[in-house]
Amino acid sequence: MVAGPGPLPHPGTDAAATVDPDTDLVAAVACGDQAACRELVNRHLSKMIAVGYRMLGNQADADEVAQEVFLRVWKQAPKWQPGKAKFETWMHRVAINLCYDRLRKKREITGEEHLPELADEAATPAEALQSKELGERINEALQRLPARQRQAVVLCHHQELTNIEAADAMEISVDALESLLARGRRKLKELLRSEMDDVLGAGL
Amino acid sequence: MTLDEFEKWIDAYGAKISSWPERVRGDAATFLDTDPAAQGLINEARALDGLLDQAPAGEVHASLVADILASTPSPQSSPASTQHTQGFIGRAESLIKILWPQSGWLRPAGLLTATMAFGFYMGFAGGDEINPFYEEESDTIATLFDLPEASDWDGLTWDEEGLQ
């Protein structure tokens, strides 16, 4: 066995050469430039909603998280120091922390994390797909992952952060991130077995 | 690379070898070409990747965009004030040049006097508007907008499975 996956970035993301595309925009936001604020929203709002939606499983919570992220962006922009991390990575960190806060509160109220029921496994894949949209089942499978595994999958697969950026956003090592990713994806394979068999059976 | 090693990498990063850490991509590609079982793993991982791609991402509603844009900070007057300041100093320097065209050594003193006069002027004529954002909210920024500290997670512990 070779050593575990190391802190190497994904293609085109040489950490030393990474330029933060948001640096100028954040500086303009810090000066209250409304056009820059709009551009930052255009550039990142959908990503923040996606993080919230995939972490929390519903639109309302995702909207609130995204709005809170941008409130913090407006306030934090004057203090931003370029070069330490990409601004987008910081935004993801804020988003996942806000999601975590919500999961924690939900857990305090209910005593456990909300784990949505999956459709009856006895149903055939075709019936399952008819009874419930595929996307919804995938969302439910994601929600059944432990929060940290879900964060790792969302940041790396959906948000396409590099392993270094995702580890930074989660404030863990790359090795720990990869462990979370592997266990998360293995669990998803179990949860989405029938859907995967459908795909594989279709020869796609 | 062994099949077990290949599987560990694919478990973490999925079917796209181009997304794997650079230092293992070459070995992985070679292994994929030589081991039929590796192709099976790739196919399975590709199926999972494809399903994950279909996970709903939520929607961007115009009302949310409007709410977020309504919360943007007011434009600071700093840039304008800076221009104003530079304009004032420039005009003062021009005036000094006109009044004392040959007195280069007097210019710093004159400029200093003019700057002091400008300071008094701004103190009486709206100095608060120079940078209200910092004046009024810097403390709030420091307390509200830093990331949660470790102490915020009291009562909870993480292990790699998640919340405990």
* 3-state DSSP assignment of residue B158: strand
Residue A37 parent element (H or E)? helix A34-56
Q: Is the Cα dihedral A186, A188, A193, A199 positive or negative?
A: negative
- The tokens describing A198, both together, are 């459908």
pLDDT at site B144: 33
Q: What's the average model confidence in pLDDT over A111-115?
A: 54
pTM of structure: 0.67
In angstroms, the CA A178 to CA A123 distance is 34
Instruction: Give B-chain residues touching A78 at CB under 8 angstroms.
Output: 133-134, 141
**Residue of chain A whose alpha carbon sits nearest to that of B78:** A31
Give the tens place of pLDDT for each residue, A147-184: 999 999 999 999 999 999 999 999 999 999 999 999 99
Is this complex scored with an ipTM above 0.90?
no
Instruction: Give A-chain residues touching B64 at CB under 8 angstroms.
Output: 45, 49, 63, 66-67
Q: How many CB pairs under 8 A join A and B?
A: 188
Residue type, A29: V
In angstroms, the CA A122 to CA A116 distance is 17
> Are the beta carbons of B73 and A75 separated by less than 8 Å?
yes
Q: Does B157 touch chain A (CB under 8 A)?
A: no
Q: Does B48 touch chain A (CB under 8 A)?
A: yes
Q: Does B19 touch chain A (CB under 8 A)?
A: yes
More confident residue, B119 or B2: B2
Give the tens place of pLDDT for each residue, A79-94: 998 888 899 999 999 9
CA B74 to chain A, closest CA, distance in angstroms equals 6
What b/e sequence results for A137-151 when a residue is b if at least 16 CB atoms lie within 10 Å of its CB, and e otherwise? Answer: bbbbbbbbbbbbbbb
CA B121 to chain A, closest CA, distance in angstroms equals 24
Q: What's the average model confidence in pLDDT over B24-50?
A: 94
> Are the beta carbons of A78 and B163 separated by less than 8 Å?
no
> Are the beta carbons of B56 and A72 separated by less than 8 Å?
no
> Are the beta carbons of B59 and A8 separated by less than 8 Å?
no
In angstroms, the CA A202 to CA A197 distance is 8
Give the tens place of pLDDT for each residue, A123-134: 565 655 554 578
Task: Name the average pLDDT for chain A.
Answer: 83
pLDDT at site B124: 43
What b/e sequence results for B130-148 when a residue is b if at least 16 CB atoms lie within 10 Å of its CB, and e otherwise? Answer: beebeeeeeeebeeebeee
- Test mutation, B23, B60, B61, B149, chain A, max A CBs within 10 A: B60
